[in-house]
Structure formats: structure tokens, C-alpha cells
Amino acid sequence: MIIFLEVAGGLLLLFLGGEFLVRGAVAFARQLGVSPLIVGLTVVSAGTSAPELVVSLIASLEGSPGIAVGNVVGSNIANILLVLGAAALIHPIVRNTKSVLRDGFVFVATAGLFVLLCLTQQIERWHGIVMVVMLAIYIFSSYWLDRRNVAAAREIESEVAELAGNEGSLWMTLGKLVLGLVGVLVGAELIVGGAIGIARHAGIEETVIGLTLVAVGTSLPELAASIIAARRKHSDVALGNAIGSCIFNVLAIMGTVAIVKPIAVPQVIMDFDLWVMLGVTIGFVVVALALPRLGKVVGIVFILLYVAYIYAQFAGYSQMMHSLQGQ
């Protein structure tokens, strides 16, 4: 019971801490006079990915690669099937063809690169450096393209202004940043410790906990943001947040974690979950390009697929596939 309370408390702190961190960081950047477009493409994306980063980093340093890698793989699967599925149920997601072509290509390329690196069985420091450099190139190119697109720039600036809210004094902004950082750090430590405890107590592999409980927990900020965007009929924002978060998860989180400490990839993830992630990524881009909008039917299908994936994890299907391949 204590272990579950530890995880629940960690999830709450992670969610609230992430919210304070993003809003504080956005307000601070605006007070420094940073362009709203740059804030939207960097500060907001980095802030919403902070829970995943801290959780994966702590898990890696504490010798739990299953949680560290599983968190990223599971979060990407959840961002597409769960987050976008829920958003599509609330309000149809009308896709922007140019945006999907551009970001969708980067999304698929990033997922493909990650699969190739994982198949080496260990993500090395130089792999991490390559991923972080790729992220910098992606951010720079996005800034250059969005700056030329007046509609896209206004949309990003509007989201930034909404997140900043009533900025208040510099000390209030710094207070939000500190509270957010402490909340994320403490929440991540509680989640990792609780996840390891649940795995040992229930006889479940840490990797399964990382791919499910931890991944869903760290995806809560994206889920909340996408649901709010969908309710306000800003479906394109929900789509952009989900794709951007997936790209950041791989390039920023796995890149940073690998630079700090090379990380071994569990065999069971290489045998099953990586391919699910890649399949979901390619399938989503194909569907987004084929359909002018993603409505309730697509949302239901996405959520059912996610439920099936979670069931497969706890039914031991991925472990069974791993065993069969080992024979």
C-alpha cells in the first residue's frame, strides 16, 4: 500500500511540478525579452518533457535501464494512441498537410534512428551527442520555417501567452521555477523508487512498469494539454504537442541520458516494444496524411489499440515473444 501511495504522490508532484516549471520558465523567458516563437519551440517543449527526462535520468543512474528506456518508448506510444485518441474523441483533429509532412517525416526518421541505435544493445555517449545535435537542427529549422509562416507563428505566440498568464514579479516567476523543479525532482524520485518496489513486490519486470505506469504518468502533462486544446477546439495544437513531445522524448531525453551515462537497452524492448513504437509512429503518419481529419472513430481505434498494448504487457505477451525468439 505504501509503495502505491509513493507512486501516486510522485505522479501528483510530477504533474504539478511540471505545470509550475513550464509556466515559470515561459514567464521568465518572456521577462528576459526572448521571442515568443523561440519560447514556444524550445522552452515549452523542453518543459513538458522535463518529467520524462528527470525520471529516465534518475532510473538510469540508479541502475534501472528498463524503466529509463521503457519510459521513453512507452511515452511515445501513449502520446499517439492515448493522448491523440482522447483528443480526437473530444473534438476532431483537423490536420495541416504541410505541418504533418514536415514534422511527420522528422517523427518517423527520429523513431527509425532510435530503433537502429537500440539494436546495438547500448546507447553510447556519442549516440547521445548525435541526437542532441539533431534536436538543435530540428529546432532551428522549425524556427526558420514557422517565422515565415504568419499563421503558425501567431498560433505558437498565442499558446505562449496563455501559458505565461499573469506573469507577476520576477521573484514570483523564480518561485514558480523553483517549486516546479523541486516538484519534478522529488516526484521523479518517488516514481522511480515506487516503480522498482512494485516490480519487485508483484514479481513484474521493471521494464513493464516503465512502459506502462511510469510512461503514462510522465505523459500526463501532454494528456492534460491536449484535452484542454481539444475542448477549446484547438485540435492542431493537440497534434503539434503530441508529435513535438515524441521527437523531444527521443532526441532530448535519450540523448541527454546517454551523454550522462551510456544506457543498456533491455532485450525484451528490442524484441517487441520498439517495433510497436515504430509501427504506431508510421501508422499514425499514414493515417494523418490519408484522412483530412481524425474524428471519433479514429480516436476509439487508437484508445482500443492502447488498451490492447497495455493488456499485452501485463499478460506477458512481450516476454513470451522474447522467449520464443530466444529459442
CATH number, domain at 26?
1.20.1420.30
Kindly report, residue by residue over 237-260, the tens digit of the pLDDT. Answer: 667 777 888 888 899 999 999 999
> What pLDDT is attached to residue 151?
62
Tell me what the mean pLDDT of segment 63-80 comes to: 90
Kindly report, residue by residue over 130-181, the tens digit of the pLDDT. Answer: 999 999 898 888 777 766 666 655 666 666 566 556 656 677 777 777 887 7
Please state, for a pLDDT cut of 90, what percent of the chain lies above it. Answer: 25
Tell me what the mean pLDDT of segment 305-320 comes to: 80
Q: Is the pLDDT of residue 299 over 80?
A: yes
Q: Is the pLDDT of residue 322 over 60?
A: no
> What pLDDT is attached to residue 275?
94
H or E segment at 98?
helix 97-118
Q: Is the pLDDT of residue 236 over 60?
A: yes
- What pTM did the predictor assign? 0.84
> What pLDDT is attached to residue 15?
75
- Which phi and psi (to 5°) does residue 62 adopt? -90, 10
Tell me what the mean pLDDT of segment 6-35 comes to: 73
Q: What total number of domains does the chain contain?
A: 1
Q: Which domain holds residue 307?
A: 2-326
Tell me what the mean pLDDT of segment 97-109 comes to: 81
The answer to whether residues 262 and 123 touch, using CB atoms and an 8 Å cutoff, is yes
Q: What single-letter amino acid sits at 223?
A: L
122: left (phi over 0), alpha (psi -120 to 50) or beta: beta
- Does residue 232 or residue 192 have the better pLDDT? 192
The C-alpha atoms of residue 61 and residue 42 are separated, in whole angstroms, by 26
The C-alpha atoms of residue 210 and residue 217 are separated, in whole angstroms, by 10
Q: In sequence order, which residues have a C-beta less than 8 Å from that of residue 189 and are 6 or more positions away? A: 10, 58
Locate the DSSP E strands across the chain. 93-94, 122-123, 263-264, 293-294
